């Protein structure tokens, strides 16, 4: 695939997109398996379950699902504020700030015991997923998501259909990019299921290594640009 690393646009490169999709799939299955069947990323599922519990008149469960939805939205809001306030620094920029917050929160989450504190862990993970979805919105110049994949799946089908009709190489390459991101999300879910089964709540901290790699890649790009 083209565009694994794009000079001056590391944040939009396929390599970063695939690493963050891995994180997205991992956190979604982690929150579902270890934190009481709540989706950290896919707020559509939480919204449906919120509606179901409204119909059942179960106020406690309504709040249980409303909290991660609200904190996901708060994460998106805060990411936009950070983008505006921090912007592009000389050595670090607003994306480094978002990644630093993600890494720090996941480190805390791994020490929150399962059970009655699941709601706290869920809102924290949903919050950082909101940060991530707002911070990383494009891959090779095309809109995508690292945490919500219905749109990515739609784009795969649309790009491949366009290629079948026009034989435009760009449509085929873009379709491959979206497909690669989706596959990494699935791999993240697989990896998350294995590690959560083995390490329970502690599994949250293991994915931090991937976020650290993303942080370092963005920093190295910034450093190289400064040297020029």
| Closest of 220, 205, 216, 222 to residue 103, by C-alpha | 205
| Closest of 127, 144, 150, 156 to residue 12, by C-alpha | 144
pLDDT, tens only, 96-119: 999 999 999 999 999 999 988 999
Tell me the pLDDT of the chain averaged across its residues.
Answer: 89
Quickly count helices (H) and strands (E) in the chain.
9, 2
H or E stretch at 204? helix 203-206
Is 15's pLDDT higher than 90? yes
pLDDT, tens only, 28-77: 999 999 988 888 877 888 899 999 999 999 999 999 999 999 999 999 99
- Give mean pLDDT, residues 87-95: 82
What pLDDT is attached to residue 20?
A: 95
Q: Tokens 């290594």 map to which residue?
A: 209
Q: How far apart are CA 55 and CA 59, in angstroms?
A: 10
- Give mean pLDDT, residues 209-217: 94
Map residue 40 onto helix, strand or coil: coil
Fold of 10-227: Growth Hormone; Chain: A; (1.20.1250)
Report domain extents, the chain.
10-227
More confident residue, 225 or 11: 11
What pLDDT is attached to residue 5?
A: 42
- Give mean pLDDT, residues 77-89: 91
pLDDT, tens only, 148-170: 888 899 999 999 999 999 999 99
Map residue 154 onto helix, strand or coil: helix
The answer to pTM > 0.95 is no
């Amino acid at each position: 695939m083209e565009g694994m690393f794009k000079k001056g646009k590391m944040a939009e490169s396929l390599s970063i997109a695939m690493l963050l999709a891995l994180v997205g799939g991992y956190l979604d299955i982690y929150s579902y398996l270890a934190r009481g069947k709540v989706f950290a990323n896919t707020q559509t599922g939480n919204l449906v379950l919120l509606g179901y519990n409204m119909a059942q008149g179960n106020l406690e469960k309504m709040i249980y699902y409303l909290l991660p939805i609200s904190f996901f939205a708060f994460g998106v809001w805060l990411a936009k504020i950070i983008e505006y306030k921090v912007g592009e620094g000389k050595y670090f920029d607003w994306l480094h700030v978002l990644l630093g917050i993600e890494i720090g929160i996941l480190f805390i989450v791994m020490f929150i015991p399962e059970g009655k504190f699941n709601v706290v862990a869920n809102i924290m993970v949903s919050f950082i997923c909101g940060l991530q979805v707002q911070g990383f919105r494009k891959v090779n110049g095309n809109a995508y998501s690292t945490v919500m994949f219905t749109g990515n799946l739609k784009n795969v089908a649309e790009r491949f259909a366009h290629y079948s009709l026009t034989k435009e190489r760009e449509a085929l390459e873009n379709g491959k990019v979206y497909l690669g991101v989706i596959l990494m999300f699935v791999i993240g879910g697989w990896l998350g299921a294995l590690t959560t089964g083995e390490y329970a709540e502690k599994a949250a901290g293991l994915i931090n290594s991937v976020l650290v790699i993303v942080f370092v890649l963005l920093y190295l790009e910034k450093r190289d640009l400064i040297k020029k």
